[in-house]
Structure 1
Amino acid sequence: MSALSDQMVTFAILAYLVAMIGHAVEYALGNTRVRVATPSPARERELVGAGAGAPGGTVVAPAEPAPPVAPVAGRSADRARFAGRFAVVATVVAAVLHLVALVTRGIAADRMPWGNMYEFVLTVTFIGVAAWLVVLAKRPSLRKLGLFLTLVMVLLVATAELVLYVPVVPLVPALNSYWFVIHVSTIVFSSGIFLLGAVPAVAFLMRRGFEAGKRSFPYTLAKRLPAAAALERLTFVLHAFSFPVFTFAVIAGAIWAEAAWGRPWGWDPKETWAFISWVVYAGYLHARATPSVKRNVATWIAVVGFLTMLMNLFGVNIFFTGLHSYGGLS
């Protein structure tokens, strides 16, 4: 089962890469405009000469009918739509492979597959892509955002396999508790939604700059993205949905710490950065609800919040030691 899980992760990365290429093709061709042939104004009648049969001796010949006007179907647009749909199918296949990798990993370890950084990243990225497919089913107009989402999937899942991978090992004794499922499952779920929320947040900042007239890199990358308002709205909805779950996860962690270590909070590096992330995300939601705060300013706070989440996931496990040092890295 462990070997099968490893193979499924590799296949999932390849499927995400194929999906990313499909989205890139749609992104490159999707701005093709369908041109419609416009005829020149037809003359209703034409004077062709003099003679009997018309007032003043002028013969009036009927004008020739204007050529039929037919829209010219753009082959590039058709190819773009096909590539986009193919990319969605590839993303679904990748998500299924991703899920199989997690399930087989859990079976091999005889526990939930959240015991180290490798398993945690695999689970968070799966939650992110599953949430993206739900969003896409409800809002197909956001499909071009899939290019950036699949890019993130390729980078994170490949990093997990190439850098963070560890063999299947038993769970650390300190984690053998029913709070492991309660606390870690909610952290994983909220982190996956925050991961997805960071994608439209960055896309909104790029698109907002493009709509404001900025044509330098990276704003030009956003010219074919959905409207800035739609991206900003999606960013808010995802963060507003995830924040209460993340809040519960932090509280559940404190309760578990009280039971395991005799204190609910000890400013361990993991706890400290979780608190920092909570404050930043709370600040984003507060700024988003404040009319005087510009939407791009509030969105920058959301991006900073995700950076603190990355710091808590990677930086704390790599550069610090503490009671939460279960990353599996040596």
Structure 2
Amino acid sequence: MSALSDQLVTFAILAYLVAMISHAVEYALGNARKVPAAAPARELVGAGAGGPGGTVEEPATPAPTRPHRSAARAALAGRIAAWITVLAAALHLGAVVTRGIAAERMPWGNMYEFVLTVTWIGAAAWLAVLWKQPSLRRLGLFLTLVMVLLLAFAELKLYVQVVPLMPALQSYWFIIHVSTIIFASGIFLLGVVPAVAYLMRSGWEQGKRSFPYTLARRLPAAAGLERLTFTLHAFAFPIFTFAVIAGAIWAEAAWGRAWGWDPKETWAFISWVVYAGYLHARATPSVRRNVATWIAVVGFLTMLMNLFGVNFFFTGLHSYAGVN
């Protein structure tokens, strides 16, 4: 099962890569200009008056327009990308499940397994958003790019063989705390995609034409991206809050103190404060939306620091990543 999981991860990365390329084709061909169809001939209408011979020349009706052929190809590429993303997510889920079967436990015991599960949550949440709002499909280019980068990094740098869960993690709080952290992290992972897209698109709508704003001209409207960003963060934040509280309760039972400013705890608190700041800024009318969205992006950077930086550069009671 472990070998099967490894193979499924590889196939999932390839599928996400193909989906990303298909989205890139849609992105490149999309928003093609409409070209006029053949204009009808002008008609001479007998009116009994007017020019010589009693006829007048009636203006032709405006020629109808038809989508350029490249626009149809772009739509086809987008649909293909969406279905390939579904396939990639199915392969991804298979990799997570078979990893858990091989380990005979929940597959969250080290950094590799954590990243594997968080990225699947992000992909599954994206498919749910896409099903509800197909007009946001072009965000798939950025989501699949994130999937490829994170999964490739996990497989190349974080991979460890399947091992039993260490004694310190053998508690029912392991499932409660880690599952909620993973779920919230996956939603935050998805949430940063429309956040960055909104910052690019709003800059383009304000007249900025330099890189990277020129990339945003084919993204959905900024207002919709900003609403999606807020919805995802407002949904994930209470779950993340519960996960931090559950971790403190587990720490009290395991180490005799609820909070000790361990590096992992410290950065979790920093992330919580930043995301709380985003939601507060978003609810404050005097704070511009792009300022609030930048806070959300910073929040995700703190999550990355908590996931990668703490595990690589610090040692503490949460050193379970398998990379130190």
The TM-score with structure 1 as length reference comes to 0.93
Greater mean deviation of Cα atoms: 316-325 or 29-38: 29-38
- Taking the TM superposition and a 5 Å limit, the aligned residue runs for 1:32-71 are 32-37=32-37, 39=39, 42=42, 58-61=52-55, 63=57, 66=60, 69-71=63-65
Point out where structure 1 has 5 or more consecutive residues left out of the alignment.
48-53
State the match for 1:114 in structure 2. Answer: 108
Deviations 1:204-228 (A, max 9, x none): 0010110011111111111100000
Aligned residue among 149, 153, 158 for 2:143: 149
| CA spacing shift, 1:57–1:274, aligned 2, 3 Å | closer
State the match for 2:242 in structure 1. Answer: 248
Task: Report the AA paired with residue 209 of structure 1.
Answer: G
Task: Report the AA paired with residue 183 of structure 2.
Answer: F
Partner SS state of residue 66, structure 2: coil
Matched, 1:304 2:311: no
Matched, 1:259 2:253: yes
Task: Report the AA paired with residue 196 of structure 1.
Answer: L
Task: Report the AA paired with residue 301 of structure 1.
Answer: I
Displacement of 1:71 in angstroms is 3.3
- Verify the 8 A CA contact 2:44 2:55 in the aligned structure 1: no
Displacement of 1:55 in angstroms is 8.3
Task: Report the AA paired with residue 102 of structure 1.
Answer: V
Partner SS state of residue 223, structure 1: helix
Partner SS state of residue 147, structure 2: helix
Matched, 1:283 2:270: no
Point out where structure 2 has 5 or more consecutive residues left out of the alignment.
none
Partner SS state of residue 194, structure 1: helix
- Taking the TM superposition and a 5 Å limit, the aligned residue runs for 1:168-183 are 168-183=162-177
State the match for 1:25 in structure 2. Answer: 25
Displacement of 1:73 in angstroms is 3.9
Displacement of 1:74 in angstroms is 1.9
| CA spacing shift, 1:222–1:64, aligned 2, 3 Å | closer
Task: Report the AA paired with residue 8 of structure 1.
Answer: L
Overall identity of the aligned pairs, in %: 77
Measured in 2, the distance between the counterparts of 1:143 and 1:226 equals 9
Displacement of 1:75 in angstroms is 1.2
- Verify the 8 A CA contact 2:180 2:243 in the aligned structure 1: yes
State the match for 1:103 in structure 2. Answer: 97
Give the aligned length.
Answer: 324
Structure with greater Cα Rg: 1
Aligned residue among 120, 145, 166 for 2:160: 166
The TM-score with structure 2 as length reference comes to 0.95
Displacement of 1:245 in angstroms is 0.1
State the match for 1:6 in structure 2. Answer: 6
Measured in 1, the distance between the counterparts of 2:314 and 2:62 equals 73
Displacement of 1:235 in angstroms is 0.3
Aligned residue among 297, 316, 322 for 1:322: 316
| CA spacing shift, 1:216–1:263, aligned 2, 3 Å | same
| CA spacing shift, 1:275–1:68, aligned 2, 3 Å | closer
Task: Report the AA paired with residue 317 of structure 1.
Answer: N
Displacement of 1:59 in angstroms is 2.4
- Taking the TM superposition and a 5 Å limit, the aligned residue runs for 1:81-92 are 81-92=75-86
Measured in 2, the distance between the counterparts of 1:268 and 1:206 equals 36
| CA spacing shift, 1:276–1:64, aligned 2, 3 Å | closer
